[in-house]
């Protein structure tokens, strides 16, 4: 039995009319990530286009499962190290990310392993900010 966690996603993301461009990068430890610059990153085609807070949370979880066995993830929004690896941790992370994304926010997370790091960037963008034609894709 877990502790009850209030779970009430916002609908701000709908009012803001955002979608998310997701980028996953692996770099050797100490190296500068290819798209560390937010402006440069925006010009690159995203690895995934996410349409809802639930899709955002699922994508991050998928990436986390690929890279994490028993490692630590720095959750930037809560400014703390979170030990990852069991289903409860992943479920907690998923709820956190749904809540963050439901406010129309971007999410940046790093996953560290022994030899490299995995940066996940999920950028909230409006259709005006989007340079990849996602809005057009959606209507097809
Ligand atoms: Zn887009």
- pLDDT tens readout for residues 19-69: 999 999 888 877 776 666 777 777 889 999 999 999 999 999 988 877 765
* Non-local CB neighbours of 47 within 8 Å, separated by 6+ positions: 22, 23, 24
In this prediction, residues 110-136 reach a mean pLDDT of 84
Tell me whether residue 21 is in a domain. yes
75 domain-assigned: yes
- How remote is the CA of residue 20 from the centroid of ligand 1, in Å? 7
State in Å: Cα 19 to ligand 1 middle: 6
**31 occurs within a structural domain:** yes
> 96 C-alpha to center of ligand 1: Å?
23
Q: How far is the CA of 140 from the centre of ligand 1 (A)?
A: 14
| 1 found inside a domain | no
Compute, in angstroms, the gap from residue 119 CA to the centroid of ligand 1. Answer: 19
Those residues whose C-beta lies under 8 Å from the C-beta of residue 31, and which sit 6 or more positions away, are: none
Whether 95 contacts 7, CB under 8 Å: yes
The total of structural domains in the chain comes to: 1
Could you list the residue range(s) of the whole structural domain that residue 105 is in? 17-129
122: three-class secondary structure by DSSP: strand
pLDDT (tens digit per residue) in 122-131? 999 999 989 8
**139 in a structural domain:** no
Quote the ligand 1 centre to 33 CA distance (angstroms). Answer: 21
Please tell me the pTM assigned to this model: 0.77
For residue 136, tell me if it sits in a domain: no
């Amino acid at each position: 039995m877990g502790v009850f966690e209030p779970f009430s996603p916002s609908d701000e993301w709908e009012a803001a009319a955002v979608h998310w461009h997701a980028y996953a990068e692996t770099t050797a430890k100490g190296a500068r990530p290819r798209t560390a610059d937010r402006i440069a990153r925006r010009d690159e085609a995203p690895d995934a286009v996410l349409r809802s807070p639930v899709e955002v949370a699922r994508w991050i979880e998928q990436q986390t499962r690929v890279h994490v066995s028993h490692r630590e993830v720095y959750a930037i929004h809560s400014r703390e190290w979170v030990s990852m690896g069991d289903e409860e941790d992943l479920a907690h992370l998923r709820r956190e990310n749904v809540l963050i994304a439901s406010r129309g926010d971007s999410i940046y997370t790093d996953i560290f392993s022994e030899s490299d790091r995995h940066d996940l960037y999920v950028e909230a963008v409006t259709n005006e900010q989007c340079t990849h034609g996602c809005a057009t894709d959606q209507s097809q």
